Structure 1
Amino acid sequence: MSGGSTPELLTLHAVRLKGVADDRRIAERFALDQAVTSELLLDYQAYGWVTWSEFAGSGGWSLTEAGRAENERQLATELDRAAGRGLIAETYQEFLPLNERLQRACTDWQLRPTEDDPLAFNDHRDRQWDRLVIDELKALAKALHAVSLRITVVLDRFDGYDVRFADALKKVREGDHAWVDKTGADSCHTVWFELHEDLIATLGVLRSTQLS
């Protein structure tokens, strides 16, 4: 994995994908050497690209505005060298309707509307309702595999999203329903959100513009 990207790029990019994360989680994202990753993070802090913050006894790195701009500059250069901008942009357009389906599935997992309350919390007692959501996630897993195959041809660092999503879905199907939208772990929602962030960062677009 990551054969087409440098540790320098992957370290900065992992900070963006994780949002807020410590050295270990950033290194683990792309299977980087943690000592090298920690040195790079300190360099990036000196450059003003990342900042360390702590809350309630835990801390992590996050991108500054300058770091976000640098990340997108590096990604654009990498993508142009790979001559794959057209394919990634085309695949992103195909990803967007899948993304809408994923959002609806997660909403349906969290909410179970009733006649009295259209925003009623899903207590998961309606097994048929949950089964339909899981079936949709299974269909999305298959679609994600096809997306992953296409974009990984361009850049190796896209590898693994489909596997991580499938692993989370397997846990859901085995009865651990938290893995649909669990935070702080590679749940279905977390993995999908990260891929979306990866695509828009790579193409240099905003979520709100949807590459219009």
Structure 2
Amino acid sequence: MLDDYELTVHTLTLRQLGSGEQLAEVNGLPAADVDVALDKAVADGFVIAARGNFMLTPAGRQFLDSVYPRAFAEIRSNGEISAAMDAFETGVNKQILALTTDWQTVDVDGQRVSNDHGDAAYDEKILDKLGRVLDKTQKVLRPLVSADPLVDRFLDRAGAALTRAEGGETDYVSGVRVDSVHTVWFQMHEHILRLTGRERPE
């Protein structure tokens, strides 16, 4: 698996621009440890700093490409994990994407229009479906959760976002400026693709 330094650099593939505190929220490391790792990564040329935020450099991507095969060798050779990824891609991932679209738009006279969230019953139905898909995802990704606790952290964060949406904070389903269900799901998907050496489906 990745050490703290490698994990910090890797986190910038999941959140392309972020502060040390924001990256720590994603990877679960103490913020102070992330700051130390970022300072080293900047010195190594793998990360650039700009106004308190950090971005991965091309050299950083090359570094990770050299690290992943060693760090994730056991995961990539695990047949149970491979089957779990197949089930994820063909099942719950497509369901989340469809529900996100259903949350953002509604059908009016055969046309999809932006959802103004004025129909509480419609929104509640989507939130209920999202909750059931997240529960199912816990089961689908169980082999990956066992191999990498960070996967479980993503699922917990997605669940926390859904709870906020259920409380009336509608941005927490698909908003891009908060850690919404969609944002966290995208990060998790990118993470498990890198774990398993797969490409994002078209």
Measure, in 1, the Cα distance between the counterparts of 2:76 and 2:116: 48
Q: Is this contact kept in 2: 1:49–1:63, CA < 8 A?
A: yes
- Offset at residue 95 of structure 1 (A): 0.9
Measure, in 2, the Cα distance between the counterparts of 1:7 and 1:203: 19
> Structure 2: where are the runs of 5+ without partners?
none
Secondary structure of 2:177 counterpart: coil
Alignment partner of 1:184 out of 157, 169, 177: 177
> Which moves more between the two structures, 28-37 or 104-113?
28-37
Measure, in 1, the Cα distance between the counterparts of 2:58 and 2:83: 28
Alignment partner of 1:22 out of 9, 19, 29: 19
Measure, in 2, the Cα distance between the counterparts of 1:147 and 1:73: 29
- Offset at residue 83 of structure 1 (A): 6.8
In the TM superposition, 1:91-170 aligns within 5 A as 91-96=84-89, 97-115=91-109, 118-170=111-163
Secondary structure of 2:108 counterpart: coil
Q: Is this contact kept in 2: 1:148–1:162, CA < 8 A?
A: no
- Offset at residue 148 of structure 1 (A): 4.2
Q: Is this contact kept in 2: 1:22–1:61, CA < 8 A?
A: yes
Of all paired residues, the percent bearing the same amino acid is 25
Deviations 1:2-40 (A, max 9, x none): xx5411121111111111111221233333233332232
Q: Is this contact kept in 1: 2:14–2:190, CA < 8 A?
A: yes
> Structure 1: where are the runs of 5+ without partners?
none
CA RMSD of aligned residues (A): 2.3
Distance 1:124 1:82, change over 3 A: closer
Measure, in 1, the Cα distance between the counterparts of 2:75 and 2:133: 27
Measure, in 2, the Cα distance between the counterparts of 1:123 and 1:161: 28
Aligned residues: 201
Deviations 1:103-135 (A, max 9, x none): 11111111112127x231111223332232112
- Offset at residue 72 of structure 1 (A): 3.5
- Offset at residue 179 of structure 1 (A): 1.1
Q: Is this contact kept in 1: 2:106–2:113, CA < 8 A?
A: yes
Q: Is this contact kept in 2: 1:76–1:203, CA < 8 A?
A: no
Measure, in 1, the Cα distance between the counterparts of 2:28 and 2:109: 49
Distance 1:154 1:115, change over 3 A: same
Secondary structure of 1:120 counterpart: strand
Deviations 1:122-174 (A, max 9, x none): 11223332232112201111112213432121123323222212211112222
Measure, in 1, the Cα distance between the counterparts of 2:85 and 2:147: 13
Measure, in 2, the Cα distance between the counterparts of 1:72 and 1:143: 31
Q: Is this contact kept in 2: 1:148–1:160, CA < 8 A?
A: no
